[in-house]
């Protein structure tokens, strides 16, 4: 991840519609199109759209999730975007970072990775919820935060820490204890930072992914009424997962 130059965030306002060139992969079960979500994120939307389109290899989008993360590192603002696109047989993960090569911010490079994972290879889909004031919970209360974890390669994360016996006065060495979590990608979506709709979109994406992964009826993709245009290669490479570095 690296600093995002202010001038390149939303791109030129007058050119917004020029980035939305591919109707064949633009909609899914969610209310907002993939192109619209990329435009809203404002992180090199044309470039990201081209990379994703190429990685889809002509497949139809069933569901998508676009997540832009912003981090503050002293005087620098660092941003990167992760795009998940689900098709009937594939999960395509795209991650885009940028890097500033000079102090003036005139020389910038984009680092892009793509990964295509067969749906049959996905081992688990974990969706963790966080609610505020659970003692006052009502069915209408929105989810405050969700964390989506997807595992497919068998990779595991080990969290270790000193073990204790529960006695605050005890000074004996109890060794270490820890937990092992199986995960290849983890995305945390907060209503406060990303908005309530982003949380809802994450839930819908997880539901669609579970449906395709288990072979049950997945949400049908929304097909635009306009005739499909010839595929001109707008959505690009195979994305890998240098993402989730939390």
Taken in order 127, 91, 9, 21, is the CA torsion positive or negative?
Answer: negative
Number of other CB atoms surrounding residue 153 within 10 Å:
14
Query: What is the four-CA torsion angle of 209, 210, 211, 214, rounded to 10 degrees?
Result: 120
Give the model's pLDDT for residue 215.
Answer: 75
Residues 6+ apart with CB under 8 A from 89: 59, 118, 119, 120, 212
Give the model's pLDDT for residue 27.
Answer: 38
Prediction pTM value:
0.66
What value does the mean pLDDT take over residues 28-45? 82
Is 17 or 125 the better-scoring residue by pLDDT? 125
Long-range contacts (CB closer than 8 Å, 24 or more residues apart) made by 175-180? 180/156
Number of other CB atoms surrounding residue 201 within 10 Å:
25
CA distance 242 to 186: 11
Give the model's pLDDT for residue 153.
Answer: 79
Give the model's pLDDT for residue 163.
Answer: 77
CA distance 132 to 140: 13
Confidence of residue 235 (pLDDT cuts 50, 70, 90): very low
114-163: pLDDT as tens digits: 999 999 999 889 999 999 999 999 999 999 999 999 998 755 556 667 77
Give the model's pLDDT for residue 164.
Answer: 77
CA distance 194 to 170: 43
């Amino acid at each position: 991840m690296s600093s995002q130059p202010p001038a390149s965030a939303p791109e030129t306002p007058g050119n917004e519609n020029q980035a939305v060139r591919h109707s064949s992969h633009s909609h899914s079960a969610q209310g907002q199109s993939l192109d619209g979500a990329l435009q809203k994120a404002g992180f090199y939307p044309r470039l990201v759209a081209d990379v994703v389109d190429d990685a889809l290899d002509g497949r139809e989008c069933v569901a998508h999730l676009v997540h832009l993360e912003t981090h503050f590192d002293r005087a620098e603002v660092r941003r990167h975007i992760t795009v998940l696109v689900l098709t009937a047989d594939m999960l395509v993960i795209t991650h885009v970072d940028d890097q500033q090569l000079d102090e003036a911010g005139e020389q910038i490079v984009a680092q892009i990775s793509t990964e295509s994972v067969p749906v049959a290879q996905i081992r688990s889909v974990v969706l963790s919820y966080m609610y505020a004031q659970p003692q006052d919970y009502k069915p209408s209360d929105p989810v405050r935060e969700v964390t989506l974890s997807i595992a497919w390669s068998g990779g595991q994360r080990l969290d270790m820490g000193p073990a204790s016996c529960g006695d605050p006065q005890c000074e004996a060495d109890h060794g270490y204890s820890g937990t092992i979590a199986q995960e290849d990608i983890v995305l945390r979506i907060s209503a406060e930072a990303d908005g309530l709709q982003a949380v809802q979109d994450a839930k819908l994406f997880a539901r669609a992914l579970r449906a395709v992964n288990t072979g049950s009826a997945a949400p049908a993709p929304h097909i635009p009424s306009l005739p499909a245009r010839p595929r001109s290669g707008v959505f690009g490479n195979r994305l890998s997962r240098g993402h989730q570095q939390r």
